[in-house]
Structure formats: C-alpha cells, structure tokens
Amino acid sequence: MGAEKLLINQKTNKTAISKTGYRALYLLRLLIASPRTREEILEAFEKDFVMAKDKKLSKDTVTNTINTLKACGCEIKRPNSKNGFKYELVSHPFSFGINKVQFQYLQELRKSLVTYGDWKLIDEINELYASLSEFAADEKMRSAMLNNRPLKNISSGVLNQLKKFIKTREIADIFYVSPRNGKEHIDFLPLFLRFESNKLYLWGFSYSYKNIGYLRADKILNISAKTEPANIGPSECEEFKKSCLSVRYRLTGYSAHMFFEGVDDRVIFRDENSVVVETVVYNEFNFLQKLMNFAADCEVISPVYFKNKLKEHIQQTRACYDD
Amino acid sequence: MTTKEQKMANSGIRVLEILKKLVEKPLSKDEIIKLIEDNSSTKNIYSKETVSKYLNTFKLLGIDIEKIGDKFYLRTNFNKINLDKKKLETLNFLKNYALGVHRKEGSIKITELFRLIENSFDDETIKEQAHLGGLRLGRRVSDSSALMIRTFEEYCKDRRRLKIKLKDGRNFSIEPKDIIFKQEKAFLLGYNLQKREFKEFFLEDIEEVTRQPQRALDNNFLNPVMFRVKGGLAKVYDLREGEQISETHKHKKVILNYAEDRELLARRLLRYGKECEVLSPQEFRQYFVKLLDEMAAKYD
C-alpha cells in the first residue's frame, strides 16, 4: 500500500493516522540513531512528508513530543553544554528482550552442545551469546549469558593468543601454573586445543620436557613468542610425533553411541553397536585415562604393548580394593 | 495546553502505549480497545476504526505488524543487532540444532526467540544473512525419535511415577524429571526410587513404560557416593555440580557426590585410576570393583 493511501482514508478523505503518534515514533527513531538538538529535530520534522503538511510546527512541538515520549517511559537526558545541547535517549520500553524462559532454554542448548567436545563450536557459541546478551531482559540474565559459560576461566586474550600460536606454529614461552610444580616457564610448540572433561587443554610439544604434553588452558598466565636465540626447532617435535604409537580399540554400548571423532582419531569401522578406532597416542597417561573412561565398553585390539599397559593400569586401580 | 492539544497528545500516548504492550505480547483489536479504555481518564468509547488508525501509523513508519488470526504481532525491534558472518553462521547452526532436537515446548519458545533476533538484524546483517541463506545446518533427529521425545516430555510434565523396562531387560521405578540432550541424543533424567539416585536413560534404550498413579515428589532424598582422591589429583580436583568436600587431609580429600548418574560417575572415577578410591555406599563400591574385574577380564 502506498504511503499516501495510508495517510488519507479514501472513503472519508480524512487523516487515517495519529499525527502525534507518528511524530512521537518518528522522534523516537531519530533519537535511537543519535542524540539531536532541538533545531535538528525540528528540521527533520519539517523535511518529513507527513509532518511537512503541518504548518504549525515549532520548537514547542519538539518539546511536547519529547514530553510524550517521557510520559510513556522513555528516559531522555536534557540538552546541556556537556552534551552539545542535544536530547539524548538513555532507554526506552519499546524493545523486546530475551525473557527468562528463552534465556533458560538458550543456556540449556549451550550445555547440551558442550557434550560434542568441540571447543571451536563452544567458543563460537560463547561469542554469539555475548552479542545476544544485549537483548537479555534484565542485568542478571545479561551477566549470566556472558559469564555463566563453558571456558569461563580462560581469558579471551589468552585464548586468542593460543589460536594464533597454533596457526603460526611458533615456539612459545608459556608462563604456567603447574598443579605439581607451581609457576614455571615452558618452551612449548602449541599443536592443537582439545576440550575434555569440561576443561580446555593445549596440546603441544614441550621442549622443556622433550615430549608431547598438554597444559590446562585456564592455568596459563601468559604466552609470548620465544625471543631467545633458539637452539630448538619444530623438527624435534616432528621426530617425536613419528615415534608415537597408534593404538586400535573397539568400543561398544554407550561409549560407541557417544563416540565423537577427535583430531587424532580415525574411525576404521562403525556399525549400529560398535566402533573401531585408531588413535595416535601423543601422551600415554592421558590416553590411558581416556580408555578407562570407556569402562567395560572398550577393548584394545593392538599393539600388545598397550594392551599390557592398560591391563597393568586396571590392576593397579583394582588393588586399592583388595581389603 | 488547550483541550485540543491535550487530546492530540493523549492520542500520541495511546499509540506509544499500544506499541509498548505489543512488545510484550500480540493483541487483538478488542484487546487494544480495552487497553486504551482502561488507561483513559475519560469515559470515551473507542472504535475499531480508531485502532486501525493507530495501526496505520505504525505501518506508515515501516513498523512491521503481522496479523495472525485475530491477533497483531509486532515484528520490528527498535534495538538493532549487528552480527558478522561467523556469528550468523553460528546462529544458523544453533537454530537448526534447536529445532532439530524437536523439544515440543522448547521448539515453540525457540521459534519466537529466533524470530525476535532475526527481526532485530541491522541492514548489514540482513544482507549477510540473505547471502548465507542459512547454511551450516545442525543435526536433526528422526521423526520417530521426535515423537518419543515429546511423549517423554509429557511424562515429565505429568509428574506421575513411571515403571521403565530397558531393552537389556533391566527394570526401574522412577520419578521423571527432565529431558536432557547430549549431542543430538535425548536422555530421560529420572529419580530412581529404589536406589535413591538420579539416573539418565537413553530414550532409545527404553522398551516399555507404564505410568503409575503416584505423583512425583518435589524434593527427593539423595543417597550420596563418597570417594577419596589422593596425590596430585587431590591438589587439582575441581568440584562438580552437586558435589561437596566432606573431609580434607594433607594429600587427600573426601568428596560427596549427590547428583551424577552412577554409571557415568563410575566411568569418570575410573579415569582417575589409583588416585581415587570409592568408599561408599557399599553397593556402589562393589559395582565399581565389578567393572574393574570385567575390564581386566578382557585381557586375560
């Protein structure tokens, strides 16, 4: 429908809109876009095709319209020398926000997505929720959307640095709070990030310990490029990787249902009831923990060395219960 | 202000008040009339033509009002949002994931929520979204799974006790609590009445359900699992939801776990190897030992 048709009732030939309502909403839009002086508002009114027909427009019209907005719950700052004599809209009640039920559902969705163990997805969801938090109906929900999230203990600064170092394959000096040794500097070649047991781990080659290890991302205080003349190079890491074992195992039951292929896994076979996986083992201790987590759903197929290793680990755990 | 000017200003206020209400919920013409009359200090009677005049005002300003049935829905949000390509892709994924899990009640709410977000896009975001065309789809569950999820959702709402038979032959008497999602798989969270513990049931493992006349209780008594963590693990152990420390010694901590599904808890504790020992209840300790024996038997 054309604007003219909306403006005039064709049957009665009378105005088919509320002119003051139109003016108030027009001003609301102007002030949402940016603060304006009274003169700027009047000029905009005079240029509008609906209001231009009204010959009685004046500065008082502007004041009255501002008062109409205020009467309906808009908070508008008075013009003064500090704000360049502009009317400034602080808040208004005409925006819908994410209500409590929707907020709870969004949080539930985020929680269920964590079970994929895909840290990139979690990071992206967190970024999206940060943008959407502007729409939360109150401050409490806004704060929860921003802060009540997975990866909450990791600063965005550290996370961005980790992503950068993984991409550039640079050797880093990582200042780390080790659970066993306290604060220490580690020369580390970051390889990839992995989300496991609700925590984010940085995997890489530790030149300090000469092995592939993992660091808890939330315990990293600082990460910087290795500036000292390095007598180490990425080739040492490549050599180590070549020497890593590949372990083949079969999963059944719940573990097979829930198995999600990681960066170092390769699915060899999959049917309704089972999955056979081959994994490159960068860290034996961590891999043993992973297999223990599968409980009786897991059987190591090869190599024999790792079958024995797991058996020994199970027996040591079982020995705690030899009353 | 003259009477005419006052009347005019009131007309402006009426338009804004209608908009304010439409932000909260959709309204029919009759409801709008009632809203105006309730807020009016005079005893004026307002007609549907007056309401049409106000709705025309919105339209003339490009404020999108959609009529569904006899109700008017506000589709324009005054606060705009700018999402870059990456965030839009994530939003599209989230939307498809949310719709894909087919949670009846949730799906309705989530449709409204995504409509709200999409109606708030700024011009740049609208262009980007048109370019993307809703790529990066989430996973979807089959129609039969969706039906099952809805049925169990009804059971949770109904709050009557259930007798459940699993495909492996095990039977449980439970109070249904909630449907939870892990990846795209749906689980029924229930309170196991015999063992006084929460348990998750993979919906596809359930063979038979019988509804009982008894209603579920609001507060369930929970029988906690007690375990001891030692050595390095004691230093770094982070308490989970529903856990508390019972005792702390120099290199040991005793933890009480109230909420976790026992089978899943056992798997997690197995991960800790010899740095963790299950203390009680005796039944769970025996179950844990049995699991270890079954695991070891695979390599005899």
SS (H, E, C) chain A: CCHHHHHECCCCCCECCCHHHHHHHHHHHHHHHCCECHHHHHHHHHHCCCHHHCCCCCHHHHHHHHHHHHHCCCEEECCCHHHCCCEEEEECCCCCCECHHHHHHHHHHHHHHHCCCCHHHHHHHHHHHHHHHHHECCHHHHHHHHHCCCCCCCCHHHHHHHHHHHHHCCCEEEEEEECCCEEEEEEEEEEEEEEECCEEEEEEEECCCCEEEEEEHHHEEEEEECCCCCCCCHHHHHHHHHCCEEEEEEEEHHHHHHCCCCCCEEEEEECCCEEEEEEEECCHHHHHHHHHHCHHHEEEEECHHHHHHHHHHHHHHHHCCCC
CB contact under 8 A, A317 and B274: yes
Q: CATH code at A213? A: 2.30.30.100
- d(C-alpha A193, C-alpha A52), whole Å: 62
Look up the ipTM and state it: 0.73
pLDDT band at B186 (very low <50, low <70, confident <90, very high): confident
Residue type, A194: R
CB contact under 8 A, B183 and A116: yes
Q: Give me the pLDDT at residue B138, please.
A: 44
Average pLDDT for runs of 10 along chain A of length 323: 66 80 93 93 91 82 93 91 91 83 87 85 92 87 90 86 88 87 89 85 86 89 76 67 87 90 88 93 90 96 94 95 83
Q: Which listed CATH number (3.90.550, 3.30.750, 2.30.29, 1.10.10) goes with B3-74?
A: 1.10.10
Q: Give me the pLDDT at residue B238, please.
A: 87
Which residues of chain A from 254 to 273 reach within 8 Å of chain B, CB to CB?
A: 254, 257-258, 260
Please compute the mean of the pLDDT values over residues B228-247 and round it to a whole number: 90
Same domain? A85 vs A13? yes
pLDDT band at B23 (very low <50, low <70, confident <90, very high): confident
Instruction: Nearest by CB to A18, from B54, B77, B296: name it.
Output: B54
Tell me the CA distances in angstroms from A310 to A241, A283, B269, one per residue in order: 21, 13, 16
pLDDT band at B4 (very low <50, low <70, confident <90, very high): very low
Q: Is the peptide bond before A303 cis (omega within 30 degrees of 0)?
A: yes
Residues in B closer than 8 angstroms to A30, CB to CB, are: none
Q: CATH code at A283? A: 3.30.70
Q: Which tens digit of pLDDT belongs to each residue from B98-128?
A: 877 656 566 666 777 888 888 888 888 888 8
pLDDT band at B182 (very low <50, low <70, confident <90, very high): confident
A211-216 β-sheet, strand order: A211-216, A199-206, A182-196, A172-178, A220-225
Query: In chain A, how many domains are there?
Result: 4
Nearest to A193 by CA among A234, A152, A165: A165
- The answer to whether B174 and B191 have CB atoms below 8 angstroms apart is yes
- d(C-alpha A14, C-alpha A38), whole Å: 30
Fold of the CATH domain B143-215: SH3 type barrels. (2.30.30)
Which residues of chain B from 53 to 112 reach within 8 Å of chain A, CB to CB?
A: 53-54, 56-61, 63, 74, 77-79, 81, 83, 86-87, 89-91, 93-94, 97-98, 101, 106, 109-110, 112
Please compute the mean of the pLDDT values over residues B17-29 and round it to a whole number: 89
Residue A107: phi and psi, rounded to 5, are -65, -40
Q: Give me the pLDDT at residue B216, please.
A: 79
Same domain? A167 vs A222? yes
- Given a cut of 60, whether residue B24 has pLDDT beyond it is yes
Looking from the CA of A321 toward its CB, the CA atoms found within 13 Å total 23
Residues in B closer than 8 angstroms to A109, CB to CB, are: 94, 97-98, 110
- The answer to whether A300 and A251 have CB atoms below 8 angstroms apart is no
Residue span of the structural domain in which A106 resides: 100-147
Same domain? A7 vs A86? yes
Q: Give me the pLDDT at residue B133, please.
A: 65
Q: Give me the pLDDT at residue A98, please.
A: 84
Evaluated on CA atoms A14, A18, A24, A25, the torsion sign reads: negative
Residue type, B215: R
SS3 B120: coil
Residue B124: phi and psi, rounded to 5, are -60, -45
Owner of token pair 């987590």: A293
Q: Give me the pLDDT at residue A307, please.
A: 94
